[in-house]
Chains A and B, each alone.
Chain A
Amino acid sequence: MRPFNYSNAGEPATAIATVSANPGAKFLGGGTNLVDLMKEDVMHPSALVDITRLKLADVAKTATGVTIGGTATNSFTANHELIRKNYPLLSMAILAGASAQIRNMATNGGNLNQRTRCTYFYDVNLPCNKREPGSGCGALKGVNRNHAIFGWSEKCVAVYPSDMAIALAALDAVVHVEGNNNVKRTINFADFHRLPGDTPEKDNNLKPGELILSIELPANDFAERSYYLKIRERSSYAFALVSVAAAMALEGNRIKQVRIALGGVAHKPWRASVAEKWLIGKEATETNFRAAAEVELKNARPLEHNKFKVAMAQKAIARALQGAMQGGEYGLEG
């Protein structure tokens, strides 16, 4: 960690102005990711603007759904009555991530901005285009069992680690942000994170200085049938090898609407749109779930060490859809 300046913002506008004015400045949420990266010398901001005292920590009903604050903690959000009742998928996904202690510190804005866990990214002595553009991708021909099977480029094969965001992708959330001079805009969740392409140093489409004010969850018919399935190397407190956020609305036994998003497989939450399309109007049966999963995974491009993710993701999609059929259950994996 290198010396840095610390300040505490009272108003969003001052926080945004401070960060916009200094390319070396960063917002500080719970610090559970940024501070780790600073300790590893992966990131070395010259200034941190603490935003945890901004009044952006609410979860509230809106005319069209529910909004969750950018600085609300993951724990508060996951356990909020409005979320548990209307968006159990989001609760399940958040609670599948990290540990209780980390979730108590982690903010929603910070969660969306957390960086990849690719260990080449973390080791400053190894090449990594995301950390140091142009230095090469260490993982492409290295140990890449935790890496992407969809949407990667030769420049970067990293996966995006958040669980929460996988649910948000399935729920078609909308991110509200504010930049310098009160410029506000909304970003559809599908457009928030990026594929690596030629610029893996950019994780998402936030502009410098833009602050996440809130995340909006449109109303939906999925509360009864949704499920977050996370496969990992131990029972908790590990990032996903593969995860699936699944949600369904039925008409009789036919699938009226379905959302499937995958985690642990790409540089952004991966909407399984091929499978979704395949399922619409079909009967909600295990055979159909498996068939849909199969067509989605046809497009997978695994790397040397992660071929297992293809079969795993395929089975996980089917299992998550079955979980959704049963209405899901908190904390139940598999």
Chain B
Amino acid sequence: MSETGKPISRIDGRLKVTGKATYAAEFNQPTMAYAFPVRATIAKGRITALDDAAVKKEPGVISVVSYKNAPKLKPLDMQAQAKAGAAFLGENLPPLQDNKVYYPGQFIAVVVAESYEQARAAAYKLKVRYAAEKAATDLKTELPNSRKPAKLMGEEAQVNGGKTTAPLAQSAHRVENTYSTPAEHHHPMEPHATVAVWEGADKLTLYDATQGVGLTGAIAAYFLGLQPENVRVIAPFVGGGFGSKGLWLHTLLVAMAAKAAGRPVKLALTRQMMQTNVGHRAATIQRVSLGTDTAGTLTAVRHHTDTYNNLTEFFEPSGKQSLVLYKAPVREVTYGLVKLDRSTPTFMRAPGETPGTFALESAMDEMAYKLKMDPVAFRIANHTAQDPMNGHDFSSEFLVDCYRIGAEKFGWSARSMEPRQKRNGKYLVGYGMATATYPGGRSAATVKVSMTASGDVTVMTASIDIGTGTYTVLAQTAADALGVPVNRIQVKIGDSSLPPAPLAGGSQTTASIHPAALEACVLLRKELTALAIADSSSKLYGRASDEINYTNGNLFIIGDEKKTDAYADIMSRAKRGEMEACATTQPVSGAGLTVPSALCTPREAPAEQNSDDKHYAFHSFGAQFAEVWVDEDLGTIRVKRFTSVQDVGRIMNEKTARSQVIGGVIFGIGAALMEATDYDKRWGSPVVRTLADYHVPVNLDVPPINVHFIGKPDPHISPIGARGIGEIGITGVAAAIANAVFNATGKRLRDLPLTPDKLM
């Protein structure tokens, strides 16, 4: 009977392919005007003159908002923001509050007009003069000015500084190399867009392409000085985010513009703006050192990352996986950080692990070669079942199975250790593998479930489906928990007025909202059961609740299945047109936000349903295997097939889960072979500006991708047993490919992406 796990197609798929799914920019409003932002053309300095006289004369122009006339926003205040759940601004720069410029492309004004075209044409007429200052534009150039940051996302940034120096010096074998990764951009298919609608001076609705309606609402409310309950954020469908759809300045800009214009206003970013205004993954330079004894047992792991940030404290945490993978008596993970006058880096699919596994897993391959050990055997020999940092057992961990199953399914045994042994016509053929890992996060969430007497169920939570399948899997969980068919379940998400849920980031949506959905369904069923037991005309009258089970819209007596009572009958006899229940669940540590919901008073789930993060470490693991064909003459590398084995807990829907991993692997192929944003050192601006220059894989670059799940529910994360799956698929991919290139050619490439020039 279980719906959970079945590979059912997306319940919102039909809406999407028929164009009926409404995305942010499509919420057109009567009397709506259009905004087009103007961007700074210097990297650093201030605006000395801003003349909008010519703009205002252009046809259709309604207003020009700049630092000269912009509504005042609440200033930055980390403590107050944190209290309001508004800490997570994409960049700490409330827009248009002064004349300072912090990076090329920064929004410095916004033109509002009757049409998009009029706003855009008028925007060219804005005359801006600047006093430019010397800008820091390049990571390598700025390295001498690097500092050692103390904190990284609330944790210690410098772990065991200097502690591996002696063990590395004493190790029997040592590998020490520098790996670099470029700046990368998210480029979800749907560009960022917002429609802002004011109702009076203190109520605002934002239709916004966001990964978190609650987050966006809280931040907008904070900076605009509104009551949080007076800002409603609506995002029923979001065309991908990959970390770029937190709250960026355009969302505040359009709210300000709508206020100035006294009308609803729409603002949609161009691709060029998506290169400068909604974050990116910063470039990294990583130095990885591994030491082993003569038998190939790791004696020390060191991972140092140099990277940059700008207007937030966040920086690319590419040492993360080096704190989790492999048994080693001592490990050192450190960072050097410079500030660049470049658009602000942010989270991008598997922040940290994506560039970090490239470095660590390349180094592991280099060590395996040095030891003349099979890379799979080398990893198994150094496997750890405990979190090396706190000694906690992993809650549920099958990494060695991932290696073995992957090797078997891929045909790893056909690989020759010696490079350059396999040819196919003009191609050199190589095999490579790497470990994948990503934390199994979970946060607090509240879900409300209601049921009508006619058997229609609605599941409600302010979560988001950024293309991952949230709608579908929620319906599956509710179907099982209530014993009703999936097609009688309506899922309402993407609206901040619904009960709170975490943002769709950190691969935690499923792990967070499903326990709450389950608990809400259980509460609803309990109430139905209580009604039946108390009702003398029910066949269940007077029975104990533990004698009663449910199926197909009915309660029944266990072992006496003719004694049933239908939900509909129970409800109609009790004169209940609709019943509802609401539950909040959260990890033991209380991670995540529990804010009161206007829609319901949630009940807390019993403690045993919470993930026990005091005693267990939650991580997902996997193994990635790649076959590449290299045309050495031309420098071209093609991935010919890929096998990915993932241990991510319970699989909620085989199809959407598989799609997440396939998408992750494709993302990884992009990172390995082609994705990069270059910047001009003199002006600091990107010279890769559109999808014509920012290459992502085309169909022909994507080989058959064979995905296999271990599928063992995690007994400690929640009664559901699912960890997240959105990000782990990309991790390790670039290393598996680069390792395969070494196996094919004997050339070790340590600088991503592996474009043809790198092999010349």
Contacts and interface: CB of A to CB of B under 8 A. Distances in A.
B169 to A, nearest CB: 37
30 contacts: A2-B124, A117-B692, A120-B680, A120-B687, A122-B690, A123-B685, A123-B689, A125-B104, A125-B685, A142-B682, A142-B687, A143-B679, A233-B673, A233-B674, A233-B695, A233-B756, A234-B695, A234-B701, A235-B698, A235-B700, A236-B698, A237-B698, A238-B695, A308-B756, A309-B757, A312-B634, A312-B635, A312-B756, A316-B634, A334-B636
Interface in A139-159: 141-143, 145
B634 A123 contact: no
A315 B757 contact: no
Nearest to A4: B121
A252 interface: no
Contacts of B756: 231-233, 241, 308, 312
A13 B678 CA distance: 46
Contacts of B120: 1
A209 interface: no
Interface residues of B, number: 39
A309 B117 CA distance: 41
Contacts of A311: 760
B476 interface: no
A238 B535 CA distance: 71
A290 to B, nearest CB: 10
B553 interface: no
A310 B318 CA distance: 35
A302 to B, nearest CB: 11
Interface in B680-706: 680-683, 685, 687-690, 692-693, 695, 697-698, 700-701
Interface string A314-334: 011011000000000000011
A119 interface: yes
Contacts of B755: 233
A143 B678 contact: yes
A17 interface: no
Interface-centre pick from B635, B674, B689 (highest chain A CB count, 10 A): B635
B569 interface: no
B155 interface: no
Interface string B271-284: 01000000000000
Contacts of A235: 638, 698, 700-701
Contact of B693 (A1, A119, A231): A119
Interface in B623-667: 631, 633-636, 638
Contact of A145 (B633, B636, B757): B757
Contacts of A309: 757
A229 to B, nearest CB: 8
Interface string A241-278: 10000000000000000000000000000000000000
A126 interface: yes
Nearest to B758: A308
Contacts of A179: none
Main secondary structure of the interface of A (DSSP, over half): loop
A41 interface: yes
A11 B701 CA distance: 44
A-B pairs, 7 with minimum CB distance: A235-B700, A308-B757, A308-B760, A125-B41, A315-B633, A119-B687, A143-B687
Interface string B303-317: 000000000000000
Contact of B680 (A122, A126, A238, A333): A126
A234 B698 contact: yes
A200 B226 CA distance: 55
Contacts of B685: 123, 125-126
A41 B636 contact: no
Interface residues of A, number: 38
Contacts of A123: 685, 687, 689
Contacts of B673: 233-234
B689 A122 contact: yes
Given A126-B680, A143-B680, A241 B695 contact: no
B760 A312 contact: yes
B695 A3 contact: no
Interface of B: 41, 59, 104, 117, 120-121, 124, 272, 426, 631, 633-636, 638, 673-674, 678-683, 685, 687-690, 692-693, 695, 697-698, 700-701, 755-757, 760
B718 to A, nearest CB: 41
A241 B680 CA distance: 20
Contacts of B104: 125
Given A233-B755, A235-B698, A315-B633, A126 B683 contact: yes
A1 B697 contact: no
Nearest to A122: B689
A110 interface: no
A138 interface: yes
Given A126-B680, A235-B638, A334-B426, A119 B695 contact: no
A143 B634 CA distance: 22
Nearest to B757: A308
B698 A319 contact: no
A3 B125 CA distance: 13
Contacts of B41: 125
A2 B682 CA distance: 29
Given A2-B121, A123-B689, A142-B680, A231 B634 contact: yes
Contacts of A2: 121, 124
B700 A231 contact: no
A145 B698 CA distance: 22
A318 B634 CA distance: 11
Given A233-B756, A318-B633, 6 more contacts: A2-B124, A122-B689, A234-B695, A308-B760, A319-B634, A334-B426
B643 to A, nearest CB: 20
B695 to A, nearest CB: 5
A42 to B, nearest CB: 11
A40 B690 CA distance: 11
B687 A315 contact: no
B634 A334 contact: yes
Contacts of B690: 122
Contacts of B124: 2, 41
Nearest to B691: A237
A41 B124 CA distance: 9
B697 A234 contact: yes
A231 B635 contact: yes
A310 B248 CA distance: 43
B235 to A, nearest CB: 27
Given A142-B687, A312-B757, A334-B636, A236 B121 contact: no
Contacts of B117: 1, 3
A120 B426 CA distance: 37
Interface in A91-146: 117, 119-120, 122-123, 125-126, 138, 141-143, 145
A319 B633 contact: yes
A17 B124 CA distance: 30
A315 B757 CA distance: 12
A327 to B, nearest CB: 16
B121 A1 contact: yes
Contacts of B121: 1-3
B284 to A, nearest CB: 19
Contacts of B636: 231, 333-334
A232 B697 CA distance: 12
Nearest to B272: A40
Contacts of A233: 673-674, 695, 755-756
Contacts of A334: 426, 631, 633-634, 636
Interface string A31-62: 00000000011000000000000000000000
A229 B631 CA distance: 13
Nearest to B702: A235
Contacts of A241: 756-757
Nearest to A139: B687
Contacts of B688: 119
Interface-centre pick from B59, B426, B674, B680 (highest chain A CB count, 10 A): B680
A236 B700 contact: yes
Contacts of B687: 119-120, 123, 142-143
A241 B760 CA distance: 12
